[in-house]
Amino acid sequence: MNKRIMKIVDVLLKQDSYITIDKISEELAVSNKTIRNDLQIVDQYLEENNLKLIKKTGVGIRIDGKVRDKLHVLESVREKNKTLADYSPQARKIFIGMQLSAFDSCRIYELSEQLFVSRATIHKDILSLTKDLETFKIALHRKNNNGISMEGKEKNIRNFLLELMLRDNGYQMFIDIIRRDDYRCDGSYVFPGLEVTDDEVKDFTGWFLPAGGTHLTRKYFTGCILRWGNPYINSLTFPSMVLVLLRAFVTYLRIQDRHIVHLSTSFIEDLRKEPFYKEARELCDRLANHYRLQIPDVEIRYLQVYFLALQNSRDLSEQEQQEARMLSDALLTSWSEQLHLPFDRDEALCQSVYDHLCPAIIRFRHGIPNENPLMQEIHTLYERTFQVARNSVSVIEEHFHCNVSDDEVGFLALHLAASLENMKQPLKTILVAHGGVGAGNLLRRKLSAQIPEIDIISQETFFSIYECDISDIDLIISTLELNLHTDVTILQVNSLLHDYDILRLKDVIREYYKVKNDPYNFKSAAQE
């Protein structure tokens, strides 16, 4: 239930007589079509509250029911309006972007009314949105009647729309509708900017179901895919399957409004040599039959490109192999220069980056988005590593004349993070213990078991420690107070290593370990 629905109910409750849809649309600054779609939700909401929506052709609509029920609903609506969260700047930008993708043009004042902000705020949002559109090579065209529209290649507009859907909160609702058997539709908007409701999404997913399915759960989805009998399709992860369906949804929305993608004749000829046309055609045939659409072959070919881009591995041409290897080497060189570490010697990293780039080449070449479900965790745990990866992708952007999304950068950052993790070294530690060899060995085993960040390279006595070369040592742990003249950190513990000693040591040692293995500070063993 969104603010506009609440506003419609509020307007109707204030009327003593009939009011036309034109009057409501004028008051809310939205189209008649929008109001008519919303009335389905309003009707259901009123019925649940013992009220009825009366429609009289040529006259208008009104609410019928007992006064006490009307007052109850009015109070409820006003309370909900107070609690409904306002759109954040980011949410407004997504909303506006979706509106521009869904309609040929939008007016500033309509957006202002829909989002409950001033026209000045909308202008600022559009200015911010323009920068995002530039990365997709889409321009905004301003009209004399205070309207705006998008201008750009159809595939760029679709990629932009898909990106918005992945960033919108509605994406999680989209997944819930797919996966949950107990999901009950109530007419709520999944993607408000597209004016797409949950029952519309459920209907859309329904055409994809095997016979007898009631919801597109993972079980049903996988079962349907398996019927296609293709090893690649069968190997897709569930998130990738959802992306296939979301891509099909974008295709449906745009074709419905007669927007057809364009591919060059030479490119289509190249695609005839590639796999997955059959799978793309079956998907489009199901879509066309359900909605009685005419889907041209170029749309099937475009979906085929998306299938190719989702592959984890495939037989590459010699040229493509060289391309992937060149880009892989360039990325590793950039990382080595930024962090002063020999990543080119990390064979596992070289191979993993190359394997990632092989299917990514198609995505880069055709501007196909690739969702990264771990972006929040990456920004939280590997922000600096992410920035290193971000600084390196200019070679890809220049090569393909494309924008590399944060999602793609995030995947590269994970490969880099794995390599950095492997390069981490424990703290070279000397243990100084009294009480005999047995007590010292016990203490050593406890420390090694409880604190993996240290490597005890030798065990010394109170006297022998003064004769040791500690120039390459990171840490000394001692059961006695030592008067060594050194910059090496000395930590004193109880010889029996109580629980509080372990807790204290862990906190302190982990900080030293972090500093030593900071990618901007440390040298790997390979460098030494």
Q: Which residues of 387-397 are buried (b: 16+ CB within 10 A; e: fewer)?
A: ebbeebbebbe
Looking at the fold, whether 301 and 326 belong to one and the same domain comes out as: no
| pLDDT value for 395 | 92
| pLDDT value for 526 | 39
Please, what is the Cα angle at 394 between 389 and 396, to 5 degrees? 95
Amino acid symbol at 34: T
User: What's the pTM value of the predicted model, to 2 decimals?
Assistant: 0.56
In a domain, 94, yes or no: yes
Q: β-strands 52-56, 60-64: how paired?
A: antiparallel
In a domain, 360, yes or no: yes
Please identify, among 309, 336, 351, the residue that sits at the C-terminal boundary of a domain.
309
Looking at the fold, whether 175 and 269 belong to one and the same domain comes out as: yes
In a domain, 210, yes or no: yes
Q: What is the CATH number of the domain that holds 58?
A: 1.10.10.10
Looking at the fold, whether 417 and 329 belong to one and the same domain comes out as: yes
Question: CA nearest 65: which of 55, 52, 80?
Answer: 52
In a domain, 124, yes or no: yes
Looking at the fold, whether 93 and 73 belong to one and the same domain comes out as: no
Looking at the fold, whether 261 and 302 belong to one and the same domain comes out as: yes
In a domain, 158, yes or no: no
Looking at the fold, whether 121 and 206 belong to one and the same domain comes out as: no
Looking at the fold, whether 416 and 434 belong to one and the same domain comes out as: no
Phi–psi pair at 3, nearest 5 degrees: -65, -35
Contact, 12 vs 62, CB < 8 A? yes
Looking at the fold, whether 294 and 214 belong to one and the same domain comes out as: yes
| pLDDT value for 331 | 94
Looking at the fold, whether 175 and 304 belong to one and the same domain comes out as: yes
Looking at the fold, whether 299 and 341 belong to one and the same domain comes out as: no
10-residue mean pLDDT profile of the chain (528 residues): values are 75 86 81 83 87 89 88 74 62 91 84 79 90 86 80 89 86 81 78 85 70 44 50 60 83 89 86 82 84 90 81 62 90 91 87 86 76 78 90 92 87 89 85 80 86 88 84 88 84 81 84 77 44
| pLDDT value for 521 | 60
In a domain, 449, yes or no: yes
Give the domain range for residue 348.
318-423
In a domain, 45, yes or no: yes
Looking at the fold, whether 236 and 267 belong to one and the same domain comes out as: yes
Instruction: List Cβ neighbours of 155 (8 Å cut-off, separation of 6 or more).
Output: 261, 262, 302, 366, 367
Please, what is the Cα angle at 170 between 164 and 173, to 5 degrees? 145
Looking at the fold, whether 100 and 72 belong to one and the same domain comes out as: no
Q: CA-CA distance, 39 to 194, in Å (whole number)?
A: 16
Report in angstroms the alpha-carbon separations of 479 from 428, 444, 463, 482.
18, 11, 13, 9
Instruction: List Cβ neighbours of 450 (8 Å cut-off, separation of 6 or more).
Output: 502, 505, 506
- Say how many domains are in the chain: 5
Please identify, among 385, 405, 423, the residue that sits at the C-terminal boundary of a domain.
423
Please identify, among 83, 102, 132, the residue that sits at the C-terminal boundary of a domain.
83
Q: CA-CA distance, 370 to 36, in Å (whole number)?
A: 36
In a domain, 162, yes or no: no
